[in-house]
A = this chain, B = another copy of it.
Amino acid sequence: MSQTDHVRETLKSAGLRPTRQRLALGGLLFNGHDRHFTAEQLHDEARRGGFKVSVATVYNTLHQFTGAGLLREVVVDGSKTHFDTNTSNHHHFLFADGSLMDIPAGQMQVLGLPEPPEGSAVVRVDILVRLGRAA
């Protein structure tokens, strides 16, 4: 199965029409490698690769992908929104330069988490490990 077919298949199973733009952006994202990126980075990458996409479409597409469970948003600071192609349960290292690295949740465990207040339930636990230069 070609890479294009794989993306086409991914979109179809997510209920998204395989438009030219979605195929192009999906081709950059769903290639087997986990990656972290912002809308701007993906837009730049697409244009450098010769694909003409508007910023608005990149944003729309990323939100559609996220809504379809193909991407996850990662909140690391107030400015840009970061997306992650790894949608499984995991956490992150945040490097001093702003880049991210996944930490598989499997090897981690949080002890002592208090019960959430009456009427609420835990939806997700996000752990962000902020890193600096070694001492």
Contact = CB atoms under 8 A, between A and B. Distances in A.
Interface of A: 73, 75-81, 93, 95-96, 101, 103, 107-114, 116-135
B123 A131 contact: yes
Contacts of A110: 108-111, 127
A117 B129 CA distance: 12
Indicate how many identical chains form the complex. 2
Contacts of A80: 78
A108 to B, nearest CB: 4
Given A75-B75, A81-B78, A111-B111, A133 B119 contact: yes
A119 B101 CA distance: 14
B135 A121 contact: yes
26 contacts: A73-B78, A75-B75, A75-B76, A75-B128, A78-B81, A93-B116, A93-B120, A96-B120, A107-B112, A108-B113, A109-B110, A110-B110, A110-B127, A116-B129, A119-B134, A120-B131, A120-B133, A121-B131, A121-B134, A122-B129, A123-B130, A123-B132, A124-B129, A125-B128, A126-B127, A126-B130
